[in-house]
Amino acid sequence: MVSLSVNVNKVATVRNSRGGAVPSVVKAVEVCVAAGVPGITVHPRADERHITAQDVLDIHAWLAPQRERVEYNIEGDPRPDLIERVVELRPDQCTLVPVRPGEITSEAGWIPQRDRELLSPAIARLQAVGVRVSLFVEAERAAIDWAAELGVERVELYTEPYARAYETSEDEGKRSFERYVAVAEHAHAQGLGINAGHDLDLDNLGLFVTLPHLDEVSIGHALISRALFVGLDTVVREYLALCQG
C-alpha cells in the first residue's frame, strides 16, 4: 500500500490571506488524521507565505501523541534555520527541496553533482538525529545516482512532468509514467526508498500509485482545492438556514 501524506500548506495560504487563525492548520491536520491519513507534510518557506515556523511547532505538538501511526514530513530547502528546527523536532522525514528565487511553487529537483556543499552537511546533521532524509529529484537516472551518492534514504520523484503529460492525454500520461517506472526500478536497485509528489490529483493518481516500489505520495494543492468544492454545498446550506431563520 502507498502511504498518503497530506500537505497542508494551502490551508495556511488561506489563513494568511487575512491574518488571524482561520482556517486553523492544526484543525486541518486533525481532520486529515481522523480521516485516516498516515502522513502530514508541510513545506515552510523562508518568507512564511503559508506555513510559518509556529505552524511547524504546533503541528509537531499536535502530532506527538499520534506519531506511532502518523508520520510528520517537513519539506524545504536546507537553509540553516530550517535544518536546526528539524534537528530539534526530529520529524520522521525531512525532504530537501531546492528553491529558485521568485518561484511560486517548486519547479525542479536537485541538479545532479551540484550543491554538494549545501546538501552533504545538512543530510549528515539530519541523519545523525535519526531523521530519514528524502531528496526531491527529477525522474532521471543521473538524479537517482546523485541521491545514492549523497547517502539519503529516499528520493521524492518530482511528478509535475507526469501531471502535465497526463493532462494532455491519458496516452501521454502513460508514456511519461513508463519513464518513472524505469527510474523507480533504478532507485530501488540502489537501495533507495521512493516517494513522489507535485500536482498529483484524483485523475492522475490512479495510474501513479501502481509505480513499483512506491512508498509515499504527498499531495496538497489538488486535495485541498477539491475539499473546498466537496464542502461548499454543506456550508452554503448552513448559512442559508441561518439567513432564512
Ligand X SMILES: NCC(=O)COP(=O)(O)O
Which residues line the annotated binding site?
A: 7, 18, 45, 50, 105, 199, 220-221
Active site residue 43: yes
Identify the three-state secondary structure at position 101. coil
DSSP per residue, 219-231? E-HHHHHHHHHHH
The owner of cell 519547479 is 107
Among 37, 40, 43, 165, binds ligand DXP (CB under 6 A): 43
Q: What are phi and psi of 95, to 5 degrees?
A: -100, 115
Q: Is 75 one of the annotated active-site residues of the chain?
A: yes
β-strand pairing of 93-96 with 132-137: parallel
Could you say which of 5, 9, 134, 204 contacts ligand DXP (CB under 6 A)? Answer: 9
Contacted by 219, from ligand X, ligand DXP, none: CB < 5 to 8 Å by type: ligand X
Segment lying near ligand X (by CB under 6 A), choices 22-30, 113-121, 143-151, 212-220: 212-220
Angle at 83 between CA 133 and CA 137, to 5 degrees: 40
Q: How far is the CB of 197 from ligand DXP (least distance, A)?
A: 5
Site string for ligand DXP, 99-128 (x = CB under 6 A): ------xx----------------------
Binding track over 168-197 against ligand X, x by CB under 6 A: -----------------------------x
Per the residue annotation, which of 75, 138, 153, 156 is the catalytic one?
75
- Residues making up the chain, counted from first to last: 245
Measured CA distances, 13 to 23, 83, 148 (Å): 9, 23, 34
Residue 166 CB burial class (10 angstroms; 0-12, 13-18, ≥19):
buried
Q: Does 134 bind ligand X (CB under 6 A)?
A: no
DSSP assignment string, 166-207: HHH-HHHHHHHHHHHHHHHHHHHHTT-EEEEESS--TTTHHH
Q: Does 198 bind ligand X (CB under 6 A)?
A: yes
| Site for ligand X, rule CB under 6 A | 7, 41, 75, 156, 197-200, 218-222
| Site for ligand DXP, rule CB under 6 A | 7, 9, 43, 45, 75, 97, 105-106, 136, 197-198, 220
Write out the catalytic residue numbers. Answer: 43, 75, 198
